[in-house]
Each structure stands twice: as structure tokens, then as C-alpha cells.
Amino acid sequence: MIYLIEDIINGILMGSIYGLTALGLTVIFGVLKVINFAHGSLLMIGMYIAYWIITATGIHPYLALFITVPVMFFFGYYMQDIIIKPIFKAEKNVREPITVIIVTTGLWYILDNLTLLIFGPQYRSIQDNALKGSMLEIGEIFISVPKLCGALTGALTAFAIYLFFQKTKTGRAVRATSIDRETASLMGINQYKIYNIAFGIGTAAAGVAAVTLVPFYNIFPTVGVLFDIKGFIIVVLGGLGSILGAMLGGIIIGLIESVGPQFMSSTWTEAIVYGLFLLVLFIKPSGLFGIKQDW
């Protein structure tokens, strides 16, 4: 029974981190109405940035948030401004330009292979990491401290993004643009600047997820692919464009992956995850927590 409780707790914690990795993906979709296939690669870049900051300075892993997140925001902001914005301008009458999907797929391959070329295929992890393997003991239950910190960071990040969209003038402009970009433009909102901001926020969220993963996860050029696949499953499961759905969808996947092996092989656990993904697509394509409006 103790092992089952530990698995449930671990599933919720890891699921919250999964939700955090998918949060940026759902934010970008909610505003730009396109799937960013390079999201996993952006997460990978965030992990490398955090790794080199921590290694070079020796600071606490979570202090790297104060450098990694702003860097990732501006990276996403200018990537959208320089590479993706021209496509939106060329296809301004198309609500969901398919060319953007092709471009982000190309960015995925470019970023992954460029990282492989520069840093090589070696697996890296933080040395002298006090957090790695650190456990919180509650009676007979052991909880991973890095995963607990990551889950709390994920919840706070999701709440902060929600407050930004609901309570700030810029956030309301983002929501207006996501609902009707043409009407928002007539009201004086610069839709292309809003796209830059939304892409920057989504990329910054990937940066937060990267920092929470670095203390206990290996860093290598294709690490983003693993989280990219889960991210797409989570946003479809939770509901495209739904912040709450991303977090809850991540927890559902985390629980299946953690508790499932207690009763079946890991192969069947993966099959359940993909089976649930397909079932939701057939029964409720908007997702379990999807809403009629984008926000």
C-alpha cells in the first residue's frame, strides 16, 4: 500500500512537470492557432542554458530561473518576429496557416542538429548537485524533492500566466487577439506584436520547465523529442488552448505512467496513454477540459 501511495504522489508530481512542459505549447496554440513542433527543441535549449549557467557559476539550480527564463522569452520573441511573422503577413487571411507548422518542423530539426554539432551526443548532468536523489521523508513515504519543487514551480507558473491573461492590459489584448485577430486590430491592437509576446511567453514557460528538469534529468540534443510527444498528447487530452487542461492532462499522464507499472508491463502502460489519446480525439476532439472559446 505504501508503494502505491508513493507511486500516486510521484505520478502527480511528475505529471505536473509534464503539464509545465506542455503549458507553453498550449499558450502558443491558444493565440497563434498553430502547433509549434519546435517546442521540444526550445525546452532542450533551455536545459542547456540552465546547465551551463549552473556549471559555470555554481549557483543553486533554481536560481538559474532568473537568467534562463528572460533569455528564453527573448529567444522565442525574436524567433517569432524574424522567422514566423513574415508567414503570418503573407497568409494574413488564413486563420491557421499550415506553412507555420512546416517552418516549426524545420526549426525542430535545425535546433536539434545544431546542438548535436556544437555539444556532441554526450549525456550531461549537473555535478555536485545536492538536489539529485534528495528525498523528503513523511512517515514511511519518500517524496522526491526535485520533483516536488518542479511540481510547485509548475503550479505557480500556470497561475502566474493565468493572472497575466486575466488581469493585465497586455494579457487582455492577447486574449482579444486569440478570439478575433481582425477585430482586435481594428481596436488598435498590434496583432503581430501580440504574437511575439505570446510566443515569448510560451518559450519562457519551456525555460521554466527546463530548469525544473535539469536537477534530476540528463541533458542531450534530442531530449526535447521525449517531452514533445508527451506535450502533444497532453494538450489534446486537456484541451488545446486551455491552461488548466494542460496541467490536469499532464497529471493524468503522470499517474498512468507511475501507477500503471504496478499492475502491468510498461509496454501496456504506454499503450494506455496512446489509447486514451485516440479515445479523446474520437469522443471529444476539443479535449477533456476544452472550452468553446480560446480563453
What percent of the chain has a predicted confidence (pLDDT) above 70? Answer: 94
C-alpha–C-alpha distance, residues 88 and 218, integer Å:
36
Is the pLDDT score of 71 beyond 50?
Answer: yes
The number of folded domains in the chain is 1
Q: Say whether pLDDT at 252 is over 80.
A: yes
C-alpha cell at 151: 511540481
- Its domain, for residue 175, covers 23-225
Query: Does 180 map to a domain?
Result: yes
- Residue 276 inside a domain? The answer is no
Position 286 in a domain: no
pLDDT digits (tens, 9 = 90+) for 51-67: 999 988 888 888 999 99
- 277 in a domain, yes or no? no
Cβ-in-10-Å burial (0-12, 13-18, 19+) of 265 comes to exposed
Residue 47 maps to a domain: yes
Joined together, the cell numbers standing for residue 99 give 506553412
**Assigned domain for 289 exists:** no
